[in-house]
A = this chain, B = another copy of it.
Amino acid sequence: MTNKHVKEMEALKEHLGKHQLKLTRQRELILNAFLRQEHITAEAMYHQLAKADPHLGLATIYRTLNLFCDAGLAQARHFGSQTKYDNVSHKGHHDHLICTGCEKIVEFENEEIERLQEEVATRNGFTIKTHRLELYGLCSRCRH
């Protein structure tokens, strides 16, 4: 395997270029680690990266993940009291099923629900910009 995550790296570089931001060793490091995850907290990335760079600061992780959000590579999702950064570099819009037993997260898309949401909004004179739909319950394994 040669270079991984080339496309995403290009996307980041493009965003940096457009905003007078610089490409740093930390940003590269964090991007490569982030792209291996689906949903992860800043704190978890911090611990995970401590091996690769023990001096990497937590603030840098937060700043960088927020940068990825600006660049369209990540989306911050507030689950409970924590923010999970959703790796959306290779995904379109989706919502979440969350197991309260084992924390498992399953992504889903349902255009029928999306359509009905629009209908509800229109009926009430609203124009939807974003929405959040989270279904909490037990996965098949945790039910037994």
Contact = CB atoms under 8 A, between A and B. Distances in A.
Interface of A: 78, 80, 97, 99-100, 106, 108, 110, 112-113, 116-117, 120-121, 124-140, 143
A134 B117 CA distance: 10
Number of copies: 2
A99 B105 CA distance: 28
Q: Which 6 A-B pairs have the closest CB atoms?
A: A125-B140, A128-B137, A129-B137, A131-B135, A126-B137, A130-B136
Contacts of A110: 116, 120
A117 B113 contact: yes
A42 to B, nearest CB: 16
A134 to B, nearest CB: 5
Contacts of A125: 139-140
Contacts of A131: 133-136
